[in-house]
């Protein structure tokens, strides 16, 4: 009989235009709740999701906790939970623009960073691989929760309110609100919110306005992202005049218009029994007829359909009162059990009864409806999507679905939340513990709603990341762990690009690039620097610098340089000098300084600076014309008078500072401060000798000052660049990458000591100004205090990041590691981020691992490494499975990694994918062959054109396979390897430049004869 009625209704609805207003029961609002014409209450709770990934067993355990919290509310009739979910790949572009691109483009314009090609490519790529998703719970409280007395009281209240209200026509019937119902509903909402928070599921109660916006956008997908908002009670409205011929108009023109009239912009049109046209899309509904035989978490279904890139939505209704339904069905099953074929039914109800009595599982009434859509006119696409949706649902624990409802519009509207508590899905009786995992709450969430970096989940969900940390993650200490070739460098460069585009760089003053320093081993960040140089333009290329450190002329750097105008180092600068000199005077195979050496070094530093000033026994540096031509010119221009026969550099510095020539004063001051060799004279001064002349080293019988002088002489011989005034000038650069590959050897104790010195010196070169604070101005001489007050404040407020690559090089360097650990402890006070990259987790050391707040694992080198990562970070079973089996290195669809973050006292664990387009991959590539090919093309055709051509010829972001193929051919022909590689790269570059061979696709497509001729060549 039911089937006959359904078929009759379906035939009547064919090709009929049907009003949608009849599907909306909502009449008014009461606080954040919607109120229906029956007096029922509904509140929307946005479900963000979980902070950590969960296995199926984890979800079941969490659902059991929810069961214990919610069973009391759902045992009797009156309350209902509607779990609603929507996934829309077609909305990805708009969502990406909203949460990422708009801010990135705005910050880029403010900073003067033209990354248009990169951002456009990201938008194209991400729109094809990411998808928009959202979910919520619609919490319903119906009048059935009221006692007889409460129901009577509510009716009397409403009757009195309605009697006092004049005719209001089609305005909102605000007199339907009830404080009694509101109290019951508030208690239910609070109970659900508490249960969700207990399960660590992010949940936010929506306002009534936001709830109606969500419902309208679910109904009319083309309105998603619009600025529409409803007019509700309490909002200001403009009175509407009645028709002139109307004699006795009602008061509706003075009140808030009905919610139905605001929500529905166009009626629906049904086509056949399965297709409904609403707005600019056609919809098809799918109903759950028989629930899953093996209930599985909702996230599994969402992941499958996400990979299918299918737009769809779902609504699961869990209603209380399952006890009554179960009792009725048990009676029926007992009667039918006299027939042998129906004894299975009785056993099933016996199992339900056992769960209820022994495990306190109540039963709930479960209904579920789904829908998918396609643009009007693309009916075939809609049918394919509806078929895929039905198949995926049926494969989700062995369900049964139906695509024909009595009225197709009823079926489609069943998956629109909040308008009415109704569904065409077949009611099922389910234990609440099995029903709860079916609801959409077990997916994962990013702690940030927006971010200048976007990652994605493997199923395409968007995961914003804010590289500045913001207020949610004020302590930024990141570690990157993976073997070579796993994507560490590209991920680190992606984060640094995001930092350049973060709104945190805008600050209170003029927008500037962040201050980024990186100690590199090799050219892993050279592509990033070149990208920034091209983006800021030729007049600002100096703001980003990549330098390969060498022991050669032109790379001189004096560790004793001061802030301009100062005669003595700031406390933090002196602390560095003490550490550096202690390391310099330490035997390669020792880790503990000689007795008394640390105290003497402190005194020697003070004495060396004192002797460079005009004191009676001092030896200030003499000014010599011709050493710094720019300074000489400034002296002439400003007519600075110096001592005719005994001019000193300190006087030049003072005079230039008085004339606000601080940049030239800084250059002059490089010649006014001590260098290494000055320490020897300082160590022999009377002040030092009075204290340390008698102190001797037991192992060598030398005096401390003698040992000190011997090591300083040795350092001058080994590192002559440290004994000269600074020439390695970074000027006003804000992004500096220092490649230590040529000066940081490994192997012997002496090599390790040199590496340790270079890391410590490199850290000082890069971060010397990172740790400046406004209160340090007290250590600055009065004449230059205003200048430095501004500098120190700006440095303190600026976002700063210091990265260390190949951190395992410091395993034998306790001084470097101690300095890094100190930076990690105090970085937050100075607004400094730290990043460390290495191949194994053990390379990091316990102290850094403990202090780190961001852990990025891109791959485990072996099973032992995987076990160490899992144990050290106390990963969940789901994350442990990812470490062991889910990290395979970069591929055509991006580079996967496990992100483990500590944010606001919460731990986040998520498998993410870093997806970049071919232009960006080529720009950031660190593969030697790819970088060599790219650099050849930079020189030949320019930066942008080179990347454009490479991206078109090699869209995977690498030419490695083609290079290897050609190299093997040449090696088989007897060519030596070095020459073969060079020839292959030269040949490939020539083909890409000329548009022939492998790069024939670069030629115009309309010139087919010419292309054939080129191919023949």
Least Cα distance to 730 among 561, 543, 969 occurs for 543
**Could you give the 3-state DSSP secondary structure of residue 76?**
coil
Cα distance between residue 74 and residue 82, in whole Å: 12
- Residue-wise pLDDT tens digits, 183-213: 999 999 999 999 999 999 999 999 999 999 9
Cα distance between residue 777 and residue 790, in whole Å: 10
Q: What is the pLDDT of residue 258?
A: 87
Q: Which residue has the tokens 């972001």?
A: 957
**Could you give the 3-state DSSP secondary structure of residue 308?**
coil
Q: What is the pLDDT of residue 1?
A: 44
CB 283 within 8 A of CB 386: no
Burial of 960 (0-12, 13-18, 19+ CB in 10 A): middle
Q: Which residue blocks in 475-562 are alpha helix, DSSP H? A: 488-500, 526-536
Confidence of residue 9 (pLDDT cuts 50, 70, 90): very low
**Could you give the 3-state DSSP secondary structure of residue 739?**
strand
Cα distance between residue 69 and residue 203, in whole Å: 16
Q: What is the pLDDT of residue 697?
A: 80
Cα distance between residue 873 and residue 875, in whole Å: 5
- Residue-wise pLDDT tens digits, 36-52: 999 999 999 999 999 99
CB 585 within 8 A of CB 708: yes
pLDDT mean over 56-84: 94
pLDDT at 345 over 60: no
Cα distance between residue 580 and residue 586, in whole Å: 10
CA distances from 783 to 51, 147, 613, 665, 676 (A): 54, 82, 17, 13, 28
Which element (helix H / strand E) includes 657? helix 649-658
- Residue-wise pLDDT tens digits, 294-312: 999 999 999 999 999 999 9
- Residue-wise pLDDT tens digits, 657-710: 999 999 999 999 999 999 999 999 999 998 889 888 888 887 777 888 899 999
Q: What is the DSSP letter of 85?
A: E
pLDDT mean over 760-775: 93
Cα distance between residue 866 and residue 873, in whole Å: 11
Please state at what angle helix 928-941 crosses helix 960-972, rounded to 10 degrees. Answer: 100
Burial of 751 (0-12, 13-18, 19+ CB in 10 A): middle
Q: Which residue blocks in 296-419 are alpha helix, DSSP H? A: 298-307, 322-336, 343-359, 379-394, 408-413
pLDDT at 82 over 60: yes
Q: What is the pLDDT of residue 747?
A: 80
User: What predicted TM-score, i.e. pTM, was given to this entire model?
Assistant: 0.90
**Poorest-confidence range of 126-135, 821-830, 913-922?**
821-830
- Pairing state between β 515-520 and 735-739: parallel
Q: What is the DSSP string of 124-156?
A: HHHHHH-BEEEEEEEEEE-GGGS-HHHHHHHHH
Q: What is the DSSP string of 264-291?
A: -SS-EEEETTTEEEETTEEEEEEEEEE-
Q: What is the pLDDT of residue 403?
A: 85
Q: What is the pLDDT of residue 247?
A: 62
Percent of the chain with pLDDT over 90: 70
Q: What is the pLDDT of residue 359?
A: 56
pLDDT at 10 over 60: no
Q: What is the pLDDT of residue 13?
A: 44
For the chain, give every domain's residue range.
2-239+249-438, 622-672, 927-1016
* Beta bridge pairs of residue 171: 257
Q: What is the DSSP letter of 887?
A: -
- Burial letters for 886-897: b for 16+ Cβ neighbours within 10 Å, e otherwise? ebeebeeebbbb
Q: Which residue has the tokens 């003698």?
A: 706
CA torsion angle 962 967 973 978 (round to 10): 160
CB 501 within 8 A of CB 720: no
Cα distance between residue 442 and residue 11, in whole Å: 40
Confidence of residue 932 (pLDDT cuts 50, 70, 90): very high
CB 477 within 8 A of CB 849: no
CB 887 within 8 A of CB 491: no
**816 phi, psi to nearest 5 deg:** -65, -45
What is the overall mean pLDDT for the chain?
89
Q: Is the dihedral of CA 722, 723, 726, 728 positive or negative?
A: negative
Confidence of residue 17 (pLDDT cuts 50, 70, 90): low
Give the Cβ contact number of residue 184 at 10 Å.
19
Angle at 546 between CA 544 and CA 551, to 5 degrees: 140
Confidence of residue 317 (pLDDT cuts 50, 70, 90): very high
Q: What is the pLDDT of residue 371?
A: 97
Q: What is the pLDDT of residue 8?
A: 46
Least Cα distance to 957 among 984, 997, 929 occurs for 929
pLDDT mean over 253-262: 82
* Beta bridge pairs of residue 29: 34
Give the Cβ contact number of residue 636 at 10 Å.
9
Q: What is the pLDDT of residue 36?
A: 95
Computed on alpha carbons and rounded to an integer, the radius of gyration of the chain in Å comes to 36
Residue 584 CA to chain centroid, in angstroms? 41
pLDDT at 973 over 90: no
pLDDT mean over 550-562: 94
Q: What is the pLDDT of residue 171?
A: 78
Q: What is the pLDDT of residue 812?
A: 79
**Poorest-confidence range of 361-375, 558-572, 803-817?**
803-817
Which element (helix H / strand E) includes 401? strand 400-402
Confidence of residue 246 (pLDDT cuts 50, 70, 90): low
Cα distance between residue 693 and residue 526, in whole Å: 50
Q: Which residue blocks in 525-570 are alpha helix, DSSP H? A: 526-536
Largest Cα separation within the chain, whole Å, is 124
CA distances from 855 to 448, 897, 913, 939 (A): 17, 10, 15, 38
Least Cα distance to 797 among 451, 468, 532 occurs for 468
Cα distance between residue 979 and residue 976, in whole Å: 6
Give the Cβ contact number of residue 618 at 10 Å.
12
How many residues does the structure list for the chain?
1017
Percent of the chain with pLDDT over 70: 91
Tokens of 230: 């409803």
- Residue-wise pLDDT tens digits, 460-477: 999 999 999 888 888 999
Q: What is the DSSP string of 764-821?
A: HHHHTTTT--GGGGGGS-GGGHHHHHHHHHHHHHS-EEEEESSGGGGTT-HHHHHHHH
Burial of 124 (0-12, 13-18, 19+ CB in 10 A): exposed
**Poorest-confidence range of 271-275, 522-526, 832-836?**
271-275
């Amino acid at each position: 009989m039911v089937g006959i009625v359904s078929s009759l209704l379906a035939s009547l609805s064919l090709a009929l235009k049907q009003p949608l207003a009849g599907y909306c029961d909502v009449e008014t609002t009461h606080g954040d709740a919607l109120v229906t014409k029956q007096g029922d209450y509904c509140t929307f709770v946005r479900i963000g999701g979980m902070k950590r990934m969960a296995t199926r067993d984890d979800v079941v355990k969490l659902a059991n906790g929810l069961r214990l919290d919610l069973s009391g509310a759902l045992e009797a009739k009156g309350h209902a939970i509607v779990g609603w979910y929507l996934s829309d790949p077609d909305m990805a572009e708009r969502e990406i623009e909203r949460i990422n691109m708009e801010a990135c483009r705005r910050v880029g314009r403010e900073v003067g960073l033209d990354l248009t090609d990169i951002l456009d490519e990201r938008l194209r790529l991400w729109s094809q691989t990411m998808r928009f998703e959202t979910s919520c719970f619609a919490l319903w409280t119906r009048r059935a929760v009221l006692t007889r007395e409460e129901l009577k009281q509510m009716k009397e209240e409403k009757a009195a309110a309605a009697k006092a209200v004049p005719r209001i026509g089609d305005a909102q019937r605000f007199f339907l609100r009830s404080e009694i119902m509101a109290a019951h509903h508030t208690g239910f909402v609070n109970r659900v919110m508490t249960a969700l928070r207990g399960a660590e599921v992010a949940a936010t109660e929506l306002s009534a306005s936001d709830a109606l916006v969500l419902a309208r956008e679910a109904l009319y997908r083309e309105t998603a992202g619009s600025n529409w908002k409803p007019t509700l009670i309490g909002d200001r409205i403009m009175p509407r005049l009645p028709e002139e011929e109307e004699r006795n108009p009602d008061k509706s023109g003075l009140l808030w218009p009905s919610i139905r009239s605001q929500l529905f912009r166009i009626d629906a049109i049904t086509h056949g029994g399965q297709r409904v046209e609403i707005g600019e899309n056609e919809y098809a509904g799918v109903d759950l007829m028989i629930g899953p035989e093996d209930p599985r978490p909702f996230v599994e279904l969402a992941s499958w359909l996400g990979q299918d890139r299918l737009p769809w939505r779902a609504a699961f209704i869990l209603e209380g009162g399952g006890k009554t339904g179960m009792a009725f069905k048990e009676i029926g099953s007992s009667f039918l059990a006299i027939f042998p074929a129906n004894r299975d039914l009785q056993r099933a109800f016996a199992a339900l009864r056992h769960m209820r009595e022994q495990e306190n599982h109540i039963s709930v009434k479960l209904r579920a409806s789904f829908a998918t859509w396609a643009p009007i006119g693309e009916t075939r696409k809609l049918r394919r999507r509806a078929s895929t949706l039905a198949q995926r649902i049926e494969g989700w624990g062995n369900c049964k679905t139906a695509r024909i409802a009595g009225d197709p519009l009823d079926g489609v509207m069943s998956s629109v939340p909040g308008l009415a508590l109704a569904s065409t899905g077949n009611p099922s009786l389910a234990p609440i513990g099995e029903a709860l995992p079916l609801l959409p709450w077990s997916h994962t969430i990013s702690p940030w709603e927006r971010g200048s970096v976007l990652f994605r989940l493997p199923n395409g969900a968007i995961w914003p990341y804010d590289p500045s940390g913001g207020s949610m993650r004020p302590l930024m200490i990141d570690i990157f762990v993976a073997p070579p070739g796993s994507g560490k460098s590209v991920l680190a460069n992606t984060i640094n690009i995001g930092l350049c585009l973060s709104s945190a760089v805008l600050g209170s003053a003029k927008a500037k690039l962040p201050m980024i320093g990186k100690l590199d081993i090799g050219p892993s960040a050279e592509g990033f620097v070149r990208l920034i140089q091209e983006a800021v333009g030729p007049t600002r290329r100096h703001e980003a610098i990549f330098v390969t450190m060498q022991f050669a002329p032109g790379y001189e750097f004096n560790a004793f340089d001061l802030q301009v105008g100062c005669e003595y180092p700031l406390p933090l600068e002196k602390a560095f000098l003490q550490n550096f000199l202690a390391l310099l005077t330490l035997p390669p195979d020792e880790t503990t300084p000689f007795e008394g050496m640390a105290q003497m070094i402190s005194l020697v530093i003070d004495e060396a600076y004192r002797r460079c000033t005009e004191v009676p026994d001092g030896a200030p540096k003499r000014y010599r014309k011709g050493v710094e031509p720019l300074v000489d010119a400034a002296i002439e221009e400003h007519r600075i008078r110096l001592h005719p026969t005994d001019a000193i550099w300190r006087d030049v510095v003072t005079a230039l500072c008085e004339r606000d020539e601080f940049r030239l004063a800084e250059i002059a001051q490089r010649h006014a401060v001590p260098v290494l060799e000055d320490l020897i004279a300082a160590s022999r001064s009377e002040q030092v000798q009075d204290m340390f002349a008698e102190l001797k080293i037991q192992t060598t019988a030398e005096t401390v000052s003698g040992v000190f002088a011997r090591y300083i002489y040795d350092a001058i011989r080994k590192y002559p660049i440290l004994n000269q005034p600074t020439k390695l000038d970074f000027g006003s650069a804000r992004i500096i990458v220092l490649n230590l590959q040529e000066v940081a050897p490994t192997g012997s104790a002496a090599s390790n000591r040199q590496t340790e010195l270079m890391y410590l010196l490199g850290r000082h070169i890069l971060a010397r100004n990172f740790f400046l604070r406004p209160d340090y101005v007290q250590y600055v001489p009065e004449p230059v205090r205003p200048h430095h007050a501004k500098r120190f404040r700006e440095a303190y407020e600026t976002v700063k990041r210091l990265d260390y690559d190949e951190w395992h090089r410091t395993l034998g360097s306790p001084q470097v590691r101690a300095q890094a650990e100190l930076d990690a402890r105090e970085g937050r006070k100075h607004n400094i981020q730290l990043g460390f990259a290495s191949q194994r987790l053990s390379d990091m050391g316990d102290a850094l691992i403990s202090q780190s707040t961001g852990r990025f694992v891109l791959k485990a080198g072996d099973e032992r490494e995987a076990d160490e990562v899992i144990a050290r970070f106390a990963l969940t079973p789901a994350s442990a499975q990812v470490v062991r089996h889910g990290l395979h290195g970069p591929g055509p669809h991006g580079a996967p990694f496990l992100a483990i973050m500590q944010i606001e006292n919460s731990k986040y664990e998520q498998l993410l994918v870093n997806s970049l387009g071919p232009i960006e991959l080529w720009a950031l590539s660190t593969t030697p062959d790819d970088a060599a090919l790219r650099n050849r093309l930079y020189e030949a055709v320019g930066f942008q054109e080179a990347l454009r051509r490479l991206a078109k010829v090699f869209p995977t972001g690498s030419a490695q396979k083609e290079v290897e193929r050609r190299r093997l051919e040449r090696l088989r022909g007897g060519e030596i390897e070095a020459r073969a590689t060079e020839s292959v790269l030269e040949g490939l570059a020539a083909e890409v430049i000329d548009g022939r061979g492998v790069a024939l696709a670069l030629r115009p497509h309309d010139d087919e004869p010419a292309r054939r001729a080129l191919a023949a060549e």
